[in-house]
A and B are shown apart, each in its own frame.
Chain A
Amino acid sequence: MTELTPDIGAYVSIDKEALESIFRGLKQEGYTLIGPTLGEGAIVYDEIDGMDDLPIGWTDRQEAATYRLHRRDDQAVFGYVVGPHSWKRFLFPPVQKLMTIRKQNGSFSVEPHVEEPPRYAFIGVRGCELQAIHIQDRVFLGGPYQDPDYKARRQLAFVLAVNCTEPGATCFCASMDTGPKAGPGFDLGLTELDDVFVIEVGSEMGRRIMSGVRWRPAGAFELQTMRERLTQAEKSMGRHMDISDLPALLYQNLEHPRWDQVAERCLSCANCTMVCPTCFCSDVQEVSDLLGETNERVRVWDSCFSLQFSHVHGGNIRPHVRSRYRQWMTHKLASWVDQFGTLGCVGCGRCITWCPVGIDITEEITAIRGEV
């Protein structure tokens, strides 16, 4: 058995069909598979059963405010980039019950909402997305108060990363140093070549899963092809962002006229914050039964673009779209660094693709630099 188990750090290759036995192994370990699948006119992340559910032979064409699915002329398994969903919806669900408060005897009881945390295997986590998970780790687990639900889900999650060989037109992970090759922190890291998958083993659990799969050490030619494809991918990013002196650039330009210009276009619809894999703002809502005897506190995703977000007695802290867009972008690209020691943007391009009016964060930075 030992010789059937590759070492951590080893590169192995498998036939494409053998991905099915990885899935089988994960299910035997009790994982629920979450992966890319066709739905809602896009490639979304949802529960999958096997390879048949993957969007094999499909690709996405993205541009500012544009997303379209197309048939590929090959049978690539991972021949697309990221869609409107991100993994955050599984680690930090859009709606999460926190506790139940029951009135009784003139007082009340408080019961935390306890559920067995799901054991997810994330299939096809891109480099930018893995970094986004690490960023949310810092947000939810790095401070004096931790989010216990996030922690439980995160500790149990298995990550099968996929390196990008065909970046999309709104991608700029190379600028943010988050891809196209996924950084450390995955259990298995897969690169799709024409006929095989090259897999880097990243963890003990990754080894264990591979022990049930027919693999062989990756050949020199395969490794060479993989490196070439990744270098090529790095050079074919659809977008680019100059991140030099980034926190300072924005702090020094809080009154730049560009904020007025972008505010004329921005609808303050909050799409960008919903699709962003690092945005973490939330609200807590009170859901009561008719008599008000049983009350649930439910955490829901919120957005700095909503008007209520900053209301206080006497008015709103950020009453204008200008101040809300400025808050969002300076948070992503400046104050995030002070708060969490990392930029809050991983260059996934979602906010560009899913903005109904095509506002482009890379273009905004260029403009503030005074380069347009």
Chain B
Amino acid sequence: MLDFMNPSTLSETMSRTYPMLMHPARITRIREEAYAIATYELAFEDESVRLSYHFQPGQFNMLYLPGIGEAPISLSSDPAQPGVMGHTIRYAGNVTQAIGRLQVGDVIGVRGPYGQPWPIDQLRGQDVCIVTGGIGLAPLRPVIYAILQQRQDFGRVFLLYGARTPADMLYTDEFEAWEKRDIRVLQTVDRAAPTWKGHVGVVPMLFYHIRLDPRKTVVLTCGPEIMMHFVIYEALARRIPKERIFVSLERNMKCGIGLCGHCQLGPTFVCKDGPVYPYAAIEPFFAVEDF
């Protein structure tokens, strides 16, 4: 039995600091990134909320529009500037399409941050190989910012990135700056125009263009599940242990805080035990079809 029966906490309970309450935040900037994808920078209206808010790379917020509903969206901006919450959003369904109709100055409800982050501290002293497709780069961009902040703390850094066409790639105008700071960016597309200088083909094939040291490489991946399965396959083939392969998963989420049951993957709740997992932790379940 749990010991929560102490009635002295009752008045505290009655004040209902309900964990699902959201706070209004203003859109301060909108950047078109690709077809039907844009980055929204948000700032909480309430200063005390703004000042107390911090997030780590890989975490997400629940974004809310009155009359429409909520959706989980990753933070894609620099965690060193938590007052500006960047969200890179693909207009997929009800909430995200409605966000697509908003303008600078409009208000979105925000609660968070939620979820387990990428293991930044575990990456120090290691080579880092980031493998991602399409909008999967959004939750990984804060990792790149964190690395750039203390570049010397990390070994070699690779970004293996793919999209359907060159026009579907995110953040391409930042790649040059990243490469200047010694992040090797390899790009691939499914379909290319004649001017395309990168690779053509699926993301996991990019592993064949680099050489990884299995003793000190950590792989981080986020993207369609089918892509991640192949990324894991290629990483394991290069003898990178499954404890050093990290994946970020997407599941249907209604609460973000482990109460609604929607996001389960076997013994875990993706909202609180994930979305970032060491592959070793979910291997027996991730591989099961429709689980």
> CB within 8 Å of B: which residues of A?
98-99, 101, 103, 106-108, 110, 112-114, 117, 134, 137-149, 151-152, 154-156, 184-185, 251, 254-255, 280-284, 286, 288, 292, 295, 297, 302, 304, 309-314, 317-320, 322-323, 326-327, 330-331, 334-335, 337-339
Of the listed stretches B2-10, B167-175, B179-187, B236-244, name the one at the interface; the rest are far from the partner chain.
Answer: B2-10
Choice from B19, B109, B257, B264 contacting A101 with Cβ under 8 Å: B109
Q: Is B277 located at the chain interface by the 8 A CB criterion?
A: no
When distances are taken between beta carbons in the complex, the residues of chain B under 8 Å from A313 are: 90, 92-93, 250
**Residues of A contacting B289 with CB < 8 Å?**
323
* Count of chain A to chain B residue pairs whose CB atoms are closer than 8 Å in the complex: 160
**A284, B24: Cβ atoms closer than 8 Å:** no
> Which residues on B sit within 8 Å (CB–CB) of A322?
290
Cβ of B1 under 8 Å from chain A:
yes
1/0 per residue B4-32: CB within 8 Å of A? 11010110011011111111101000000
A142 to B4, CA, bound (A): 9
Residue of B nearest to A153 (CB): B13
Q: Do B16 and A286 touch across chains, with their CB atoms under 8 A apart?
A: no
The CA-CA distance from A185 to B252 in the complex, in Å, is: 35
| 8 Å CB contact of B109 from A108, A141, A334, A338 | A108
Of B13, B224, B257, B266, the residue contacting A151 (CB under 8 A) is B13
How many residues on chain B are close to A (CB under 8 Å)? 56
Q: How far is the CB of B114 from chain A (nearest CB, A)?
A: 9
List A contacts of B24 (CB < 8 A). 107-108, 110
**A318 B67 Cβ-Cβ under 8 A:** no
A203 → B minimal CB distance (Å): 9
Q: How far is the CB of A313 from chain B (nearest CB, A)?
A: 4
Complex Cα spacing A103 to B65, Å = 10
Question: Residue on A with the closest CB to B257?
Answer: A145
Whether the pair B68, A251 counts as a contact (CB closer than 8 A) is no
Q: Would you call B259 an interface residue if the criterion is a C-beta within 8 Å of the partner chain's C-beta atoms?
A: yes
B96 (CB) vs chain A CBs: closest residue: A313
Select B23's contact among A110, A151, A280, A282, beta carbons within 8 Å.
Answer: A110
Tell me whether A284 and B4 are in contact in the complex, defined as CB-CB below 8 angstroms, given that A148-B18, A152-B14, A292-B67 are known contacts. no
Among A98, A142, A326, A334, point to the contact of B2 (Cβ < 8 A): A142
Known pairs A99-B18, A326-B291, A335-B266. 11 more at Cβ < 8 A? Answer: A107-B107, A155-B7, A282-B259, A292-B66, A295-B67, A302-B261, A318-B290, A319-B290, A323-B290, A323-B291, A335-B267
A338 lies within 8 A of B21 (CB):
no
27 residue pairs bridging A and B, Cβ less than 8 Å apart: A98-B18, A101-B64, A108-B109, A110-B24, A142-B2, A143-B257, A145-B19, A148-B13, A148-B16, A148-B18, A148-B19, A151-B13, A154-B4, A155-B4, A155-B10, A156-B10, A254-B291, A280-B261, A282-B254, A284-B254, A284-B255, A286-B66, A288-B66, A318-B291, A322-B290, A323-B290, A338-B268
Residues of A within 8 A of B17 (CB): 148
Q: Which residues of B contact A320 (CB under 8 A)?
A: 290
CA distance A138 to B258 in the complex (A): 12
- Selected from A117, A140, A310, A331, the residue in CB contact (under 8 A) with B252 is A310
Determine whether the beta carbon of A98 is less than 8 Å from that of B20: yes
**Given known A137-B1, A138-B2, A141-B2, contact A284–B260 (CB-CB < 8 A):** yes
Known: A281-B260, A281-B262. A327 touches B67 (CB 8 A): no
A317 near B251: Cβ-Cβ < 8 Å:
yes
Q: Is B125 at the interface (CB under 8 A from chain A)?
A: no
Minimum distance in angstroms from A202 CB to a CB of chain B: 12
Q: How far is the CB of A247 from chain B (nearest CB, A)?
A: 8
Q: Which residues of B contact A295 (CB under 8 A)?
A: 66-67
Smallest Cβ-Cβ distance to A147: which chain B residue:
B259
Return the chain B residue nearest A311 by Cβ: B252
Q: Which of A113, A282, A335 contacts B264 (CB 8 A)?
A: A335
Chain B contacts for A331, CB-based, 8 A:
264
Determine whether B69 belongs to the interface, using a CB cutoff of 8 Å to chain A. yes
B260→A141 contact, CB < 8 A: no
A203 and chain B: residue at smallest CB distance:
B5
Q: Which of B13, B250, B260 interacts with A282 by CB under 8 Å? A: B260
Q: Which residues of B contact A147 (CB under 8 A)?
A: 259
Instruction: Check B291–A112 contact: CB distance below 8 A.
Output: no
Q: How far is the CA of A318 from the CA of B290 in the complex (A)?
A: 5
Q: Quick check: B2 and A297 within 8 Å, CB to CB?
A: no
Known contacts A107-B45, A335-B266, A338-B267, A152 near B260 by CB under 8 Å: no
Is B272's beta carbon under 8 Å from chain A? yes
Residues of B within 8 Å of A312, CB to CB, are: 250-252
Q: Contacts of A297 on B, CB cut-off 8 Å?
A: 20
A262 to chain B, nearest CB (A): 15
A144 in contact with B267 given A155-B4, A292-B66, A317-B251 (CB within 8 Å): no
Q: Which residues of A contact B14 (CB under 8 A)?
A: 114, 117, 152
B146 CB to closest chain A CB (Å) equals 24
| B194 interface hit (Cβ, 8 Å) | no
A99 nearest in chain B by CB position? B21
Question: What chain B residues lie within 8 Å of A280 (beta carbons)?
Answer: 259, 261
Closest A residue to B90 by beta carbon equals A313
By a CB distance below 8 angstroms, the chain B residues around A140 are 259
